[in-house]
Amino acid sequence: MSNPVQYPVQPPQAPIPPHLRRRSFAGPFVLIVAGILFLLGNMHLISWMRLGTLFARYWPALLILWGVIKVIEYQRAQRDGVPVRGIGAGGVMLVVVVVFFGLIATQAERAREHWPSIREQFNIDDGDFDNIFGETYNFNDHLEKDIPPSITSLRVNDDHGAVRVSVATDNKITVLVRKRVGADNQTDADKYNKQATPTLVPTGNVMILDANTHAAGDHPVQADLDISIPRKMEVHITARHGDVSVTGRDAAVEIAGQHGEVSAEDVTGNLKLNLEKSSARIEQITGDVHINGRLNEVTIADVKGAVQLEGEFGESVKLSRISKTVNFKSSRTDMEFSRIDGDLDLNSDDLHGDQVAGPVHVTTRSKQIRLEDVSGDVRLQNENGGVEVSMRSLGNVQIDNRNGDINLTVPDKAGFRLDARTRDGEIQSDFAELKIENRDREAKASGTVGSATAHIVLNNEHDGIEIRRASSRAALAPPAVPAPPAKPGRSLPPPKAKVEPTEN
């Protein structure tokens, strides 16, 4: 029996030790950069606002730098023959965080660059945000200068702040300045305050006062100016964001403003306003008043000259005691009156006038119109609202309306010739001399009353027409209800006024 062949036994080989993976140095590098930036901010060597601006503009460079680091790590691993380390969950999270906050910072920076237009569009006050990224520091300043004989007017420029002009008792210009400066610390606030120092410089026959709020760049500075000048000095004010008040002028006043309330009182001279998203209150003006722009509320009273309003008026217009011609023009309403002895209130839904003198021209739409104690000629056009006109002194009248009743009241002894027509409505009259034909789809009225010194033309669509005597109108008015007697020893509280909401 043969012996089996024996093969040599190979000793077991030791396992090849795995190559150690090198740790990435991208994370430590990011920590070092972030730590340096935060250290600079805490030491006030660079402002936090500046750090935010740098990050908003250059954050993609962090991704590029991180990618360069990963390429270098990959080449080293290939050269040393070790496994290449992938991005990993931490790297993915880092990219997501950088991209997320980078996009937010970029949009915030763009919003900051376009902040003036955004602020004007939404009527936002910078003071609402003074304490979000810093503190607010207050400063006071004082300017005073004698007025040379050649100086006849003052020009004021204030981008952000209130302006108040009053009468001086001497021949000087005196300016009290109250400033609010937004900054991270007192040192920065002092620097911005010095940069935004107001200036008072004569140029020709004009003294120019510049609040200089823009000199501090992006840092918010608000300067309120309290100015006193002689009464006979003209005033021209440009205020982009702030209230303006002018009292006591024996010269012309011109104001250009945005996002503020403007008031002018006791002015012997012409007044001109060019306003955007502002309100105006005007009283006791001897000259003419001209207002242009986009306004919210307008109140004008006791004007000896003419009044002209042109633009868009968002909430209400109140006119009282205007001695000369009143012109009003907007995209929706066009009006003209010879004068207003009483009051006229205009809002988005109603037009109410009392003691207005013609010739009266009104063209509008979607308003309830009520004019009382009107004298002179009347020409009125409206739609989607009723028209009620009460004449004190009858002139030629023409009223064209649609989708609303026409109610015309004339004096008892007035003489006139009438031509009236309505479709889908009826005609009623207190005058037996008029011939009225009310049919299914159309109604007509015509005739002559008295001496016929005036001509009345009434046209309506889809509603009725009424022609009333003043005496019958007064008789139809509801009698006043007397208040119940008070109990002995007790007094009744005053009645509560009913407040009508107005919108535009």
Q: Collapsing DSSP states into helix, strand and coil, what is residue 344?
A: strand
Task: Indicate the pTM of the whole model.
Answer: 0.70
Nearest to 287 by CA among 251, 320, 256: 251
Residue 141 tokens, joined: 């300043």
Q: What is the pLDDT of residue 281?
A: 96
pLDDT of residue 2 exceeding 90, the answer is no
How confident is residue 380, by pLDDT bands cut at 50, 70 and 90?
A: very high
- With b meaning 16 or more CB within 10 Å and e meaning fewer, what string describes 335-372? bbbbbbeebbbbbeeebbbbbbbbebbbebeebebbbb
How confident is residue 38, by pLDDT bands cut at 50, 70 and 90?
A: confident
- The residues spanned by each domain of the chain are 26-113, 129-242, 332-475
Residues 206, 207, 213: CA angle, nearest 5 degrees: 130
| Gap between the Cα atoms of 48 and 134, Å rounded | 10
Question: What is the percentage of the chain residues whose pLDDT exceeds 90?
Answer: 57
Q: Which residue has the tokens 């009744």?
A: 492
* 147 within 8 A of 230, measured Cβ to Cβ: yes
Q: How far is CA 35 from the centre of its chain?
A: 45
pLDDT of residue 504 exceeding 60, the answer is no
Q: Is the model more confident about 374 or about 36? A: 374
Q: Is the model more confident about 258 or about 38? A: 258
How confident is residue 97, by pLDDT bands cut at 50, 70 and 90?
A: confident
How confident is residue 474, by pLDDT bands cut at 50, 70 and 90?
A: low
Nearest to 335 by CA among 319, 323, 321: 319
Q: What is the pLDDT of residue 184?
A: 84
Give 104-113 pLDDT, tens digit per residue: 777 776 666 5
CB atoms under 10 Å from CB of 291, counted, come to 24
Q: What is the pLDDT of residue 130?
A: 45
Element of type H or E holding 341: strand 339-347
Q: What is the pLDDT of residue 74?
A: 74
List, in order, residues 6 or more apart from 96 with CB less than 8 Å away.
Answer: none
Transcribe 39-93 into DSSP letters: HHHHTTSS-HHHHHHHHHHHTHHHHHHHHHHHHHHHHHHHHHT-PPP--HHHHHH
Give 220-256 pLDDT, tens digit per residue: 899 999 999 999 999 999 998 899 999 999 999 999 9
pLDDT of residue 445 exceeding 80, the answer is yes
